[in-house]
């Protein structure tokens, strides 16, 4: 069986989803979120369920490298006590394509009561997350790669890209230098690249 045409079509769908970010993102809102994160005096706390959780943990890893102190929380663990980590100066970032993930809906009031600022990421403007956040970043990832539009593929890719863009913007706002990177990343390929900096 020759699946080359299928593979090409799936790649096109993924590329179309990414290209649609330019049309569907409100860049003023992304800029506002970036400035808020750049000036955060606490931690950025990411949370999501399922595939959104993988985007959350990836973002926390990258943001720490960019000198943006970050934590990712498994929502189920959060609802069993881990949200005690949230403090007044923190920013809570719930991630949900539908914006109505029940576990995250329960998490928002907790984060607010603990004093966190809420920056939600969703694709649903009518969702609970959109209506109950301080800033809501929305986009349209078009269609997932599977024919039933069920498996979080293109949506997770686009979520990660949005988080990457914000992180890199904050890096520029805060003027993170090669010397800064060298201090916290002395080993590996990056450390080798920076050794003479």
- Asked if 132 contacts 118 with a C-beta cutoff of 8 angstroms, the reply is yes
- Asked if 143 contacts 15 with a C-beta cutoff of 8 angstroms, the reply is no
Pairwise CA distance, residues 118 & 121, whole Å: 10
Q: Is the alpha carbon torsion for 97, 102, 103, 108 positive or negative?
A: positive
pTM of the predicted protein model: 0.94
pLDDT band at 1; cut points 50, 70, 90: low
Can you give the pLDDT at residue 197?
A: 67
Residue 147 pLDDT > 90: no
Return the CATH architecture of domain 25-194.
Answer: 3-Layer(aba) Sandwich (3.40)
- What distance separates the 2 farthest-apart alpha carbons in the chain? 58
Which runs of consecutive H residues, i.e. helices, occur in the chain?
Answer: 4-19, 21-24, 27-38, 51-65, 75-78, 102-113, 128-131, 154-173, 178-184, 188-194
Can you give the pLDDT at residue 19?
A: 97
Of residues 78, 22, 75, the one with CA closest to residue 48: 75
Residue 182 pLDDT > 90: no
Mean pLDDT, to the nearest integer, of 93-97?
97
Residue 70 φ then ψ, to 5°? -140, 150
At 32-74, the pLDDT tens digits run: 999 999 999 999 999 999 999 999 999 999 999 999 999 999 9
Mean pLDDT, to the nearest integer, of 96-105?
96
Can you give the pLDDT at residue 188?
A: 82
Pairwise CA distance, residues 34 & 180, whole Å: 20
Mean pLDDT, to the nearest integer, of 85-90?
96
């Amino acid at each position: 069986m020759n699946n080359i045409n299928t593979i090409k079509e799936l790649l096109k769908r993924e590329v179309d989803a990414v290209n649609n970010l330019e049309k569907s993102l409100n860049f003023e809102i992304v800029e506002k979120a970036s400035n808020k994160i750049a000036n955060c005096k606490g931690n950025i706390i990411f949370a999501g369920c399922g595939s959104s959780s993988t985007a959350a943990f990836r973002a926390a890893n990258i943001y720490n490298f960019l000198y943006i102190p970050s934590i990712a929380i498994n929502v189920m663990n959060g609802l069993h006590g881990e949200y005690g980590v949230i403090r007044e100066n923190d920013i809570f970032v719930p991630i949900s394509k539908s914006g109505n993930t029940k576990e995250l809906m329960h998490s928002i009031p907790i984060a607010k009561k603990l004093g966190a600022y809420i920056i939600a990421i969703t694709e649903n403007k009518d969702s609970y997350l959109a209506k109950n956040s301080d800033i809501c970043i929305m986009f349209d990832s078009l269609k997932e790669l599977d024919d039933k539009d069920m498996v979080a593929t293109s949506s997770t890719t686009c979520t990660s890209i949005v988080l990457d863009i914000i992180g890199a913007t904050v890096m520029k706002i805060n003027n993170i230098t090669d010397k800064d990177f060298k201090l916290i990343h002395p080993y590996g390929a990056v450390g080798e690249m920076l050794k003479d900096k």
